[in-house]
């Protein structure tokens, strides 16, 4: 089962999610690899096994197999970074952000896909995990790489829709 098929089983109160998902699939703001990469990495970030499996089924023919590791790499590194950097900006007792993170993050420079595409994946995970510091850092890099505000907003919309789909899947399970 893919995401679209999963959405068909959603109750009427979740119709907006069905329509929003259909809209992002059909609007052609991002290229196919960006769109489905963000869908997959966002699904991973929700930690919802049924959604992850549906996303894998939906994206298997849409993403170049060379970049699958980059999607998992973005999720891997951001699932660590977003938690750590959220801590540094939420903890008010000391100035943790002035201290070295001492976290290995080499995959940030070892990916095969373009830097903007990888940054979009990282941004999607940061949005779902709620790290403002990471969101701002990745949004800044995307802007510096001439990625439009519409594309950046689309990443946020996709992450939001995928997160909401996961939440409804938890409710109706």
pLDDT tens for each residue of the chain, 173 residues long: 999 999 999 999 999 999 999 999 999 999 999 999 999 999 999 999 999 999 999 999 999 888 999 999 999 999 999 999 999 989 987 889 888 888 888 888 889 999 999 999 999 999 999 999 999 999 999 999 999 999 999 999 999 999 999 999 999 97
Domain 15-97+104-172 of CATH type 1.10.3720.10: no
Catalytic residue among 126, 127, 131, 169: 131
What is the distance between the alpha carbons of residues 165 and 26, in angstroms, rounded to a whole number?
18
CB neighbour class for 33 (10 Å; exposed up to 12, middle 13-18, buried from 19): middle
pLDDT digits (tens, 9 = 90+) for 60-88: 999 988 899 999 999 999 999 999 999 99
**Structural Rg of the chain based on CA atoms:** 16
Buried b (16+ CB within 10 A) or exposed e, 145-170: eebeeebbebbbbbbbbbbbbbebbe
User: What is residue 44's predicted lDDT score, i.e. its pLDDT?
Assistant: 98
Are the C-beta atoms of residues 76 and 104 closer than 8 Å to each other?
A: no
User: What is residue 158's predicted lDDT score, i.e. its pLDDT?
Assistant: 98
pLDDT digits (tens, 9 = 90+) for 125-139: 999 999 999 999 999
Q: What DSSP state is assigned to residue 98?
A: G
Examine the residue annotation and report whether 122 is marked as an active-site residue of this protein: no
User: What is residue 93's predicted lDDT score, i.e. its pLDDT?
Assistant: 79
Catalytic residue among 54, 71, 74, 134: 134
Q: Domain locations in the chain?
A: 15-97+104-172
Buried b (16+ CB within 10 A) or exposed e, 113-140: beeebbbbbbbbbbbbbebebbbebbbe
């Amino acid at each position: 089962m893919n995401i679209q098929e999963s959405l068909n089983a959603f109750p009427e109160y979740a119709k907006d999610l069905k329509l929003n998902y259909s809209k992002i699939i059909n609007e052609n703001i991002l290229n196919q690899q960006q769109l489905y990469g963000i869908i997959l990495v966002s699904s991973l970030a929700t930690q919802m096994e049924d959604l992850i499996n549906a996303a894998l089924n939906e994206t298997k023919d849409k993403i170049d197999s060379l970049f699958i590791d980059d999607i998992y790499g973005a999720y891997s590194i951001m699932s660590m970074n977003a938690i750590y950097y959220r801590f540094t900006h939420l903890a008010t007792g000391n100035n943790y952000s002035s201290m070295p993170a001492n976290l290995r993050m080499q995959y940030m420079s070892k990916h095969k896909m373009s830097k903007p595409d990888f940054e979009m994946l990282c941004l999607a995970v940061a949005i779902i995990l709620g790290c403002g510091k990471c969101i701002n850092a990745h949004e800044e890099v995307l802007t510096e790489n001439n990625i439009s505000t519409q594309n950046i907003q689309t990443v946020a919309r996709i992450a939001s829709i995928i997160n909401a789909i996961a939440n409804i899947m938890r409710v109706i399970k």
